[in-house]
Amino acid sequence: MTDLLLAMLTRQALAFSAAVLLLALLRPLLRRGGAGALYLGWLLVPALVLTPALPRPAAEPLQLALQAAGAPGLPTVPALPARTGDPALPLLLLWLGGTAVVLLAQARRQWRLSRLVGTQGRLPAGSSPALIGLWRPRVALPADFEHRFPPAQRELILAHEQVHRERLDNLWNLLACGLTALHWWNPLAWWAARRWRVDQELACDAAVLASRPEARADYTRALLAAHDLHHLGAPLASRWGTTHPLIERIAMLNHARRLSRLRVAALGGSLLALAGLAYAVQTETPKYDTPLVELKVELSYRTGKTPEFKTESANTTMRVHLGERALLMLHGRPDAPTADQVAVAIVASDLGDNKIDLRTEVSKGNPLSVVARPRLITANGVKARIEQGRNDPADTEMLSLTITPTLMATAKP
């Protein structure tokens, strides 16, 4: 389970990094469409991050349910001795621990903002106006709002916050906060979080001025008046002020434009096409050009106590590609599990110099639980033997596995 979760997080990290890098490459092109296009382009990140989680056909491992020679069934026996350690566990704990620390820090910032606003809905003087809340967001204004900004500028600021409300920006900020926390170790995540908030503010500026082009001068004055305000650090607050260079924000006002429905449709279609391409790449049937390996397997499972030992055994030969997983089972099948089933997974790798690496995984019970991961290195065509369990005459449970790997000719697609 630990390996599975770590592998899933790793796939998410690769998809996230690829999405952010792709978006960074596309920014010059998106910039031609204005701030709104830049902001809309961020949809590429969740689209690509969610792609690995979509259902898709997967190459199934070779599975054999072996009919043992001996009694058709065994009484439930104690589990085989568990592994002494899980090498993936420390890394997983570090990953999730860092995520928890980042989330706690963000939650503390949000809590501090809630205390500042209180029941009056007002922020301390010198604070930046902000839209706060998720399901019923409201605009929180500083105590000196009316004194600092004249009526025309106040109207523009409120219009800016209304754009945040209509676009559900705080919900998107929650998603951005979660992705940043999950990928806390990745510098791309922190760059993306900062750039996301900048693009969010620029897109709101553009939307307001696109509907009020005559208010450009007042809007610029409002930005200048807000430059020295205290910027709220809460993750779920869409604020009027921002921490990025003021020059960039004012410069973008000269290029403010409303995204037409045609532009939105074209950009959305392009993003969907990229996500679809990523999905297609992941679901493409692999073409093998790696050699086949023939595995001659002898499996024996002995239980009981003197003199009533029960031994079940089965032999099989199968061919798989190097690196491909083969699964053997006693007392059950993947589609018909039993309480006393035993499963052995085998992955063979070519080490060169006529050496073959055999990584095995022994699981038991329903649901299957990994109890050991023995590893053997043997020569091509040479038998290797693994014994796992307890060889006590008074209480025996011993699994013996003999594998003879033989490299075959390369398979053509």
Sequential DSSP letters for 128-151: PPEEE-SSS-EEEEETTHHHHS-H
Strands 237-239 and 130-132: antiparallel
On whether both 34 and 174 belong to a single domain, the answer is yes
71 falls within a domain:
no
pLDDT at 34 over 50: yes
Task: Count Cβ atoms below 10 Å from residue 392 Cβ, excluding itself.
Answer: 11
Query: Is 64 or 53 the better-scoring residue by pLDDT?
Result: 53
pTM for the model? 0.61
Kindly report the average pLDDT of the chain as a whole number.
79
Cα end-to-end span (Å), the chain: 33
% of the chain beyond a pLDDT of 90: 22
pLDDT at 361 over 60: yes
Distances (CA, A) of 21 to 16, 63, 248, 322: 9, 39, 22, 32
Phi, psi of 297 (to 5 degrees): -120, 130
On whether both 351 and 397 belong to a single domain, the answer is yes
Among residues 220, 251, 282, the one where a domain terminates is: 282
Give the pLDDT band (50/70/90) at residue 75: very low
Burial class (CB in 10 A: 0-12, 13-18, 19+), 399: buried
pLDDT at 65 over 60: no
- State which residues form the domain around 127: 2-55+88-282
pLDDT at 335 over 70: yes
Among the residue ranges 81-85, 161-165, 259-263, 289-293, the one predicted with the least confidence is 81-85
What is the reported pLDDT for 156? 93
Residue 124 DSSP class: P
The arithmetic mean of pLDDT across residues 309-334, rounded, is 82
pLDDT at 181 over 90: yes
Among residues 258, 282, 306, the one where a domain terminates is: 282
> What's the pLDDT tens digit per position in 346-356?
999 888 888 89
Number of domains in the chain: 2
Query: Is 248 or 237 the better-scoring residue by pLDDT?
Result: 237
